[in-house]
Amino acid sequence: MSTLTLSTPRNPAPVPRIADVFDFACTQIHQAATILWSRAEIRVGDHVPSVTGYVVHLSVNDRLLYGMYSYLGMSLVWLLRGAGGSWPQEAARSWRREVLVFWLVDTANLLSTVLSAPPGLPLNERTRALAERPLAACSLLDRASAAVHRQQDTPAAWHEVLTAVRGAVT
């Protein structure tokens, strides 16, 4: 069992309930383990104290592992202090950030696939345009990735990324 002590400002922001945050993370860990090991017996064990994310003991067919859920862009301590707003606000912010990161990863995967394609492979118009401008595409991904890293405010990161995309397309 762990003890958590938090200090709050005089006019605190709505602080997420610890139980809501931990239940959400535990469910995410269990779902991910079930997807990874679909035929295995999965048991989520005790919580392991951590300041960066939610960590639990995880048993997969009696093999002891750790499961961790990381709240993108914010440590668990800051999340529980209310730095991200209420839990619904923080969950939505985290989801938007995950979508942005997955978009970046997907775009990088597409670019690497296009650039490694054999020379005679037929490509559609958009894919061909990407293949013909690899430096511009890599520069765009670099700027977008930097925006995600730099911005704690997800809408601002989306705005910065979309501005970079618009600038690269025109």
What are 113-123's pLDDT values in tens digits? 888 878 788 88
AA letter at 139: S
Helices and strands counted in the chain (H then E): 6, 3
Residue 45 has pLDDT above 90, yes or no: yes
CA separation for the pair 143, 148 (Å, rounded): 9
The pLDDT, as a whole number, for residue 78 is: 72
CA separation for the pair 161, 36 (Å, rounded): 31
φ, ψ of residue 52 to 5 degrees: the values are: -95, -30
The pLDDT, as a whole number, for residue 57 is: 93
CA separation for the pair 164, 143 (Å, rounded): 7
CA separation for the pair 42, 59 (Å, rounded): 6
Which of the four pLDDT bands, split at 50, 70 and 90, describes residue 11?
low
Which of the four pLDDT bands, split at 50, 70 and 90, describes residue 13?
low
Q: What is the mean pLDDT of the chain?
A: 77
Which of the four pLDDT bands, split at 50, 70 and 90, describes residue 169?
low
Which of the four pLDDT bands, split at 50, 70 and 90, describes residue 144?
confident
